[in-house]
Amino acid sequence: MTISADHTARDATSTGEAGAVQHEDALTEAVKKFGITAEDYMLPARYQIQMVDPDGRLKPDAEQGTEPGHEYPLPGDEELLAAYEQLVVGRRVNDQNSALVRQGRMAVYPSSHGQEACQVAAALCLSDGDWMFPTYRDAVAVMTRGVDPVQVMTIFRGDWHGGFDPLKHHVGIQCTPLTTQLLHAVGVAHAAKLRGEDTVVLAMCGDGATSEGDFHEALNFAAVFHLPVIFFVQNNKYAISVPLAHQSVAPSLAHKAVGYGMAGERVDGNDVVALLAVLDRAVKLAREGSGPLLVEANTYRMQAHTNADDDTRYRESAEVAEWRAKDPVNRMRTYLTDRGLLDSAGEARIAEKAEAVAAQLREGLSEDVPVDPQELFRHVFARQTPQLKEQSALLADELARDAAASSQEAAK
């Protein structure tokens, strides 16, 4: 495959001002496409995009927060029904996993309870060839993308650091060092672009993580190299105990986009309809070559950071209650039922599916998977070193002697 035409053209003419040339292109493109200034394209709309209100009612067009150049068509019914199904499954998975942690079947589980709309939309907006780079909190998004639930949970069960093949699913291993994965997303997009592929990459992080250096470096790299990366920030208002006000005093996290020369938008993160509308358009724009975008989802972490955290130490229960009324799953159920798209038979079918996934998790995680100590040495390098061979023999010998000793003990 040859490098895409715009690169070749610039090659012939430019002298190291590639970034500047691309930037100009992006500006003109935006102005042309939407008939607004580049600045108005990059700045988020004045209000967050919300299509279905917390009571499950479709908002009038004029009140959805859209503006010229920030217009979002309502997603199709089929997409919305599929999203609802995944919302219900996601909620069940979150609650099942939290229960498994309490029972000691898993070491830890950072729940996305309350953030399921973000999780589901992040996965559903992508095509098969696209990539996703999730964080520790995004297990539901990874499953929605089609990775086996038990494989996803391996990381939290404690028998390995990752349980699925990233290359097979086009999903990075869930990442803990905050925002480091955003740069991997940039690299995957860059490689794809050099090969002339139209891969879009969705890179996820939380509100607190936007303070990290790699967040800045990733956004800047994506913008300068004009890459199809969507930075998807789930603003759930807390970084463990620290509220957003201690991380940033920007008007919104979406406003950070303009500083890098990319478009930003904020969306109600508990409204899966608006999320799909905004992310679907972002994916389309990115795939068409408009460069990276930043989407901030305004949501809330309904539970403690993880099971090890006590959130009563730093927030009021009244605040949590306020957000309970904005629940993404209930809202969608009301909306679809009122529209006549969901009846009790449909509800029952979806509940059954959610229960089946929960059962799969209970079963998969109730077994103690036999671990192979020799595997410790197997994946450190593609080409093994003599030192690791020596150390693996040492451990094998130690285990053999242990086994011999305990069988002798048993014989006595």
Ligand X SMILES: Cc1ncc(C[n+]2csc(CCOP(=O)(O)OP(=O)(O)O)c2C)c(N)n1
- Quote the tokens at residue 312: 């009563």
**Which of 42, 101, 173, 178 is the binder for ligand X (CB under 6 A)?**
178
Q: Assess whether 72 carries a catalytic annotation.
A: no
Site residues for another protein, window 8-47 (CB under 8 A)?
8, 10-12, 14-16, 18-19
- The upper half-sphere exposure of residue 257, i.e. CA atoms within 13 Å in the direction of its Cβ, equals 28
**Which of 46, 313, 386, 410 is the binder for another protein (CB under 8 A)?**
386
Q: Assess whether 314 carries a catalytic annotation.
A: yes
**Which of 206, 269, 328, 364 is the binder for Mg ion (CB under 5 A)?**
206
Q: Does 130 bind Mg ion (CB under 5 A)?
A: no
Dihedral sign, Cα of residue 310, residue 173, residue 277, residue 291: positive
Binding-site size for ligand X (CB under 6 A) equals 15
Beta partners for residue 264, in sequence order: 294
**By the 8 A CB rule, do 296 and 264 touch?**
yes
**Which of 62, 318, 382, 411 is the binder for another protein (CB under 8 A)?**
382
Beta partners for residue 203, in sequence order: 133, 231
Dihedral sign, Cα of residue 99, residue 104, residue 105, residue 107: positive
**By the 8 A CB rule, do 265 and 254 touch?**
yes
**Which of 236, 270, 290, 299 is the binder for Mg ion (CB under 5 A)?**
236
**Which of 75, 134, 208, 328 is the binder for ligand X (CB under 6 A)?**
208
Q: Does 391 bind another protein (CB under 8 A)?
A: no
In sequence order, which ranges of 289-343 are alpha helices (DSSP H)?
Answer: 317-324, 328-338
Closer CB to another protein, residue 224 or residue 357?
A: 224
Q: Quick one: what does residue 224 bind among ligand X, another protein, Mg ion, none, with the CB cut-off 5 to 8 Å set by partner type?
A: another protein
**By the 8 A CB rule, do 30 and 263 touch?**
yes
Q: What is the largest CA-CA distance in the chain?
A: 88
CB 69, min distance to another protein, A? 27
Q: Does 207 bind Mg ion (CB under 5 A)?
A: yes
**Which of 319, 385, 395, 401 is the binder for another protein (CB under 8 A)?**
385
Radius of gyration of the chain (CA): 24
What whole-number distance in Å separates Cα of residue 34 and Cα of residue 26? Answer: 12
Binding-site size for Mg ion (CB under 5 A) equals 6
- Which of the ranges 58-66, 192-200, 235-243, 350-358 carries the binding residues for ligand X, by CB under 6 A? 235-243
What whole-number distance in Å separates Cα of residue 154 and Cα of residue 307? Answer: 17
What whole-number distance in Å separates Cα of residue 107 and Cα of residue 143? Answer: 19
What whole-number distance in Å separates Cα of residue 127 and Cα of residue 123? Answer: 9
Question: Which entry of 287, 314, 315, 362 is annotated as an active-site residue?
Answer: 314
Q: Does 138 bind Mg ion (CB under 5 A)?
A: no
Q: Does 311 bind ligand X (CB under 6 A)?
A: no
Question: Which entry of 23, 137, 305, 331 is annotated as an active-site residue?
Answer: 305
Q: Does 301 bind ligand X (CB under 6 A)?
A: yes
**By the 8 A CB rule, do 145 and 201 touch?**
no
CB 29, min distance to ligand X, A? 31
Beta partners for residue 163, in sequence order: none
Please give the backbone phi and psi of residue 303, each rounded to the nearest 5 degrees, phi first: -115, 180
**Which of 191, 356, 393, 400 is the binder for another protein (CB under 8 A)?**
191
Q: Does 204 bind ligand X (CB under 6 A)?
A: no
CB 48, min distance to ligand X, A? 18
What whole-number distance in Å separates Cα of residue 177 and Cα of residue 209? Answer: 9
What whole-number distance in Å separates Cα of residue 63 and Cα of residue 50? Answer: 8
Return the closest-CA partner of residue 227 out of 200, 247, 249. 200
**Which of 40, 85, 207, 265 is the binder for ligand X (CB under 6 A)?**
207
- Residues 95-131: b if buried by 16+ CB within 10 A, e if exposed: ebbbebbeeebbeebbbbbbbbbbbbbbbbbbeeebb
Closer CB to Mg ion, residue 227 or residue 239?
A: 239
CB 247, min distance to Mg ion, A? 9
CB 304, min distance to another protein, A? 25
Q: Does 296 bind ligand X (CB under 6 A)?
A: no
Q: Which residues are catalytic?
A: 301, 305, 314
Chain residues binding another protein by CB under 8 A are 1-3, 7-8, 10-12, 14-16, 18-19, 131, 160-163, 165-168, 172-173, 177, 180, 182-192, 194-195, 213-214, 216-218, 220-221, 224, 375, 378-383, 385-387
Binding site for ligand X (CB under 6 A): 137, 176-178, 205-209, 236, 238-240, 301, 305
